[in-house]
Each structure stands twice: as structure tokens, then as C-alpha cells.
Amino acid sequence: MADRVMVWYVENIDRDGTEQGPAFYADQDYVPTALRIMARRVPDADALTVSIKDDGVAVMSRTGKLPKNKTLEEAAEEFPLHPATIKEGSLVTCDIVPSGAKGITVQFELEALGREPQLEASKS
């Protein structure tokens, strides 16, 4: 389960590229764990591409993609074997090239570093 989830929703993108939607502030150190991309209207020209950036530097080893004519991509966990830490104080942004898609949601899941593991209550 993610400790923090950042969500970008963009109904219509009037331009490709940098910093679509809000910038998020990292309130502590995190490691990325998952990226999910959804679209209400499917990309029709080519794959929709997403790049999550930490202070302007991409955090994934490859760009996340929602294939042409699909509405959901959950297998976009393209992080390096040892993903970079998103440091406290960083600004996290999202670059999107929509390729005709509309109603785009990007969900970026993070795990906090240095967090004590939570023990489940015993079932007695």
C-alpha cells in the first residue's frame, strides 16, 4: 500500500509537454512504487506518454505509456532497479503528451523512506 499518492487530472490538454496540472511538494523522502494512467477518451494518434519529474529530472527509466486505443495502463512501473529517492522539499511534476486522449488521470504512488513498519493487530 502506498504511503502517498499524487494524482493529476487533466480534462483537455491544449499543448504537449511540460508540467500539466499541479506541482506537488514532497513533505518527506519517498521512493516511487507505481504509475497508473487512465483516459476517458482513448489516445488515437499514438500512445499517450507520461513523464514524472522530480525537480525537473525524470524518475522513471522509460516514459510511462498508455497504448493507442486503450483506456487503462497499470503496467507502467518503469522505475530503475534502485529508483532514485524523491527528497523532502522536491517539487514533483507531470509531463503529458496526450495523442488525442481526453479526461486523463495519472496516479503516482510512493513509499515513504524511514517509516517504521506497521504491525497488523493480532486476530484473536
Summarize pLDDT for 16-60 with one digit per residue, the tens: 566 678 999 999 999 888 889 999 998 888 898 899 999 999 888
SS3 30: strand
- Cβ–Cβ < 8 Å for 94, 9: no
Gap between the Cα atoms of 53 and 108, Å rounded: 11
CATH class of 4-112: mainly beta
Gap between the Cα atoms of 79 and 108, Å rounded: 12
State the distance between the two ends of the chain, measured CA to CA, in whole angstroms: 24
Per-residue model confidence (pLDDT) at position 26: 96
Mean pLDDT of the chain: 83
| 49-74 tens-digit pLDDT | 899 999 999 888 778 888 888 888 76
| Partners of residue 112 on adjacent β-strands | 30
- Cβ–Cβ < 8 Å for 67, 50: no
Per-residue model confidence (pLDDT) at position 75: 56
Per-residue model confidence (pLDDT) at position 124: 47
Per-residue model confidence (pLDDT) at position 14: 65
Virtual torsion, Cα 25, 28, 31, 37, nearest 10 deg: -30
Q: Where are the domains of the chain?
A: 4-112
pTM score, two decimals?
0.82
Greater pLDDT, 99 or 74? 99
